[in-house]
Amino acid sequence: MQDLAPLQAPAQALTVLGLESSCDESAAAIVRRHADGRIDVLADSVLSQDSAHAPYGGVVPEIAARAHVEVMDVLTRKVLSDAGLILADMDGFAATSGPGLVGGVMAALMTAKGLALGSGKPLLAINHLEGHALSPRLTGQVDFPYLLLLVSGGHTQLLIARDVGDYEKLGSTLDDAAGEAFDKTAKIMGLGFPGGPALERMAKTGDAARFDLPLPLARRGGCDFSFAGLKTAARQIWDGLENPDDRDRADLSASVQAMIARSLADRSARAMVAFRERFPDDAAPLSFVVAGGVAANSAVRDALNHAAMENGFQLIAPPSKWCTDNAAMIALAGVEHLARGETAGLDAPARARWPLDAASAKLNPTIGSGRKGPKA
Ligand code: KG4
Ligand code: ZN
């Protein structure tokens, strides 16, 4: 971002149109930040591409990119009309500029660049992960600092959110993201796409104690995650079943879901201890925010709630429409950066990988390649 003269306390309200296209949701939203920092979502629209990808059992980047391009202008018009505003009412245009599928990311980013260039208003190039990190602030005041667990199809990370633009990563997945673990085990059992919600439905009637699955990284300290071993163990159990039926599906779904929930809670509890060490003077309850599509899973929420209560934290989960990918969180990140005078140049690149915690990226020069990259 380019640093302009900081506008620490903007005298008037700022309104930003945000666009999102980094995975398989195309979205637009308009967010207003009042002079006192209060946030209003004036319009918010999301188009899911689930049906386009379902035949392939996963997101196909080329299909996603093309579908995003087709709807960016439609969504832009829709949110302007829903909010009863025109382009000239906007103070800036925000778009996710990474991390994500680059072909898709370009759809929102190029649209926002066009709008910024045409209107002479600033561009805000937003890190998608920062959007998720700030999403609890869409519904009300969640004060900094807070602990954040981001669990989606592309990311599984524990972060300390200190302020807008100031994040410290405590841990991330060494291989698959939690959502990927749900999706891949659902695929093994033929439950359809997207797998997470399908697996949760199946697990409702299952016996979580029937199959013995390993707790990931049971003997390893720290706040990192790993889900690839769990997926392999589930596949071996599935392949060993003779003519598996819906009872087997339900029991394996329940076992996998319980172990993912337990692992997320176990690593989050370690992060809560680390958070307390960083902020020993902050009064309980401290805030523990969970965001991302997997936060919609009730077994996961229950396990996280339990860990939070045991450690003097309060679990805060944004409503599910703002847990999954959306543009309100991108417009919010945009308006917050605009209020601080941090805008982007029109040469802002679309980035496949982009760590939220710049310090940890610098300390780890291998980051940016392989599964343990910032997208992980
Ligand atoms: O945040 P999100 O919408 O998109 C990104 O990946 O950024 O998260 C999607 C992920 C998918 O892996 C999906 O299977 C998972 O969240 N998910 C769930 C549930 N709902 C969505 N996983 C488990 N249980 C659910 N109810
Ligand atoms: Zn996301």
Residue 30's CATH number: 3.30.420.40
Identify whether 361 is part of a domain. no
Q: Nearest residue CA, atom 23 of ligand 1?
A: 196
pLDDT value at residue 89 = 98
Identify whether 352 is part of a domain. yes
Instruction: Tell how far the Cα of 293 is from the centroid of ligand 2, in angstroms.
Output: 8
Domain boundary among 317, 333, 367: 317
- What is the mean pLDDT of each successive set of 10 residues along the chain, which is 376 residues long? 51 94 92 94 90 76 83 96 98 95 92 97 96 91 93 92 95 95 95 91 97 92 96 97 97 98 97 95 90 92 97 92 92 97 96 82 43 35
Q: Is 325 in the pocket of ligand 1 (CB under 6 A)?
A: yes
Identify whether 364 is part of a domain. no
> Do both 291 and 272 map to the same domain?
yes
State the number of CA atoms in the 13 A half-sphere of 46 facing the CB: 19
Instruction: Name the closest ligand to CA 197.
Output: 1
Identify whether 59 is part of a domain. yes
Computed over every residue of the chain, the mean pLDDT equals 90
> Do both 186 and 118 map to the same domain?
no
Identify whether 373 is part of a domain. no
Q: Give the list of residues 6+ apart from residue 270 with CB closer than 8 angstroms, or none.
A: 171, 221, 222, 223
Q: Is 186 in the pocket of ligand 1 (CB under 6 A)?
A: no
> Do both 224 and 163 map to the same domain?
yes
Identify which of 185, 189, 202, 294 to mutate to test ligand 1's pocket (most ligand atoms within 8 A of the CB): 294
Domain tally, the chain: 2
> Do both 193 and 93 map to the same domain?
no
Torsion of CA 246, 251, 255, 256, to 10 degrees: 0
> Do both 252 and 282 map to the same domain?
yes
Residues 179, 131: Cα–Cα separation, whole Å: 18
Instruction: Name the closest ligand to CA 298.
Output: 1
Instruction: Tell how far the Cα of 95 is from the centroid of ligand 2, in angstroms.
Output: 13
pLDDT value at residue 357 = 84
pLDDT value at residue 359 = 65
Instruction: Tell how far the Cα of 259 is from the centroid of ligand 2, in angstroms.
Output: 23
Task: Take residue 338 and report the two structure tokens written for it.
Answer: 């605009």
Q: Is 200 in the pocket of ligand 1 (CB under 6 A)?
A: yes
Q: Which amino acid does the sequence have at 321?
A: K
> Do both 220 and 298 map to the same domain?
yes
Q: What is the CA radius of gyration of the chain?
A: 21
State the number of CA atoms in the 13 A half-sphere of 335 facing the CB: 34
Tell me the whole-structure pTM to 2 decimals: 0.87
State the number of CA atoms in the 13 A half-sphere of 189 facing the CB: 31
Identify whether 158 is part of a domain. yes
Identify whether 278 is part of a domain. yes
> Do both 243 and 110 map to the same domain?
no
> Do both 192 and 292 map to the same domain?
yes
Q: Which amino acid does the sequence have at 184?
A: K
Backbone angles phi, psi at 9, to 5 degrees: -125, 85
Q: Is 100 in the pocket of ligand 1 (CB under 6 A)?
A: no
**From its phi and psi, is residue 263 left (phi > 0), alpha (psi between -120 and 50) or beta?**
alpha
Prior bond to 99 cis, omega within 30?
yes
Residues 330, 257: Cα–Cα separation, whole Å: 30
Q: Nearest residue CA, atom 10 of ligand 1?
A: 153
Q: Is 297 in the pocket of ligand 1 (CB under 6 A)?
A: yes
pLDDT value at residue 5 = 46
> Do both 310 and 334 map to the same domain?
no
Atom of ligand 1 nearest to the CA of 320: 20
> Do both 108 and 193 map to the same domain?
no
Q: Nearest residue CA, atom 3 of ligand 1?
A: 324
pLDDT value at residue 60 = 79
Residues 312, 191: Cα–Cα separation, whole Å: 38
Range of the structural domain that residue 236 is part of = 146-317
Identify whether 76 is part of a domain. yes
> Do both 112 and 226 map to the same domain?
no
Task: Take residue 7 and report the two structure tokens written for it.
Answer: 């506008």
What SS3 string covers the chain?
Answer: CEECCCCCCCCCCEEEEEEECCCCEEEEEEEEECCCCCEEEEEEEEEECHHHHHHHCCCCHHHHHHHHHHHHHHHHHHHHHHHCCCHHHCCEEEEEEECCCHHHHHHHHHHHHHHHHHHCCCEEEEEHHHHHHHHHHHCCCCCCCEEEEEECCCCEEEEEEEECCEEEEEEEECCCCHHHHHHHHHHHCCCCCCHHHHHHHHHCCCCCCCCCCCCCCCCCCCCCECCHHHHHHHHHHHHCCCCCCHHHHHHHHHHHHHHHHHHHHHHHHHHHHHHHHHCCCCCCCEEEEEECHHHHCHHHHHHHHHHHHHCCEEEECCCHHHHCCCCHHHHHHHHHHHHCCEEECCCCCCCCCCCCCHHHHHHCCCCCCCCCCCCC
> Do both 171 and 307 map to the same domain?
yes
